[in-house]
Chain A
Amino acid sequence: NAGVTQTPKFQVLKTGQSMTLQCAQDMNHEYMSWYRQDPGMGLRLIHYSVGAGITDQGEVPNGYNVSRSTTEDFPLRLLSAAPSQTSVYFCASSYSSTGQTQYFGPGTRLLVL
């Protein structure tokens, strides 16, 4: 099993550009989520999904969109990048509820100029 994979590992964007961060898992997990991690702060939930076709907003959803067309994939789209979106982004998955072990991808480091 590859676990949770994320691409790209690094990305530099200019303000206003859009891009999609890819996330995939091969563990047949129903629950998937996207977090951002900023210095001095805990992981903050952006969006999450409890199954294919179902998504919901987390704590900091503005400026991001998600979709969940399959169990395996959960892409995160930045609509119009802003410097405030410079961060490390982690995708995570778990069997069901958020109370269970979260398995994380290796992260995407994003710099918005």
Chain B
Amino acid sequence: SQTIHQWPATLVQPVGSPLSLECTVEGTSNPNLYWYRQAAGRGLQLLFYSVGIGQISSEVPQNLSASRPQDRQFILSSKKLLLSDSGFYLCAWRGVLPGGTEAFFGQGTRLTVV
């Protein structure tokens, strides 16, 4: 069966420090992968999506970047965190099932920049 892992669950980082959030998918190959930020009142904001290794599309200009070094690995990074980067980050992959397509989400990472 397909599963998605995202870590860490919570993270507290000082302003100016680097960031690396990792997401891995099991049980599927060549998935479409996504990073979202979830904020109250702003819903799910698509940050990056990737169709394959090394292929990243950015939706929102910001202090973050994404990379896909392996087929089932998707990384969200920052060289220097800002206070405004605080939020809840979700990784997802798009599955194609007999009944149709479906997005599967990780548990999320609560990032607090202090």
Decide if A and B are genuine partners. Answer: no
Residues of B participating in the A interface, judged by any CB pair closer than 8 Å: none
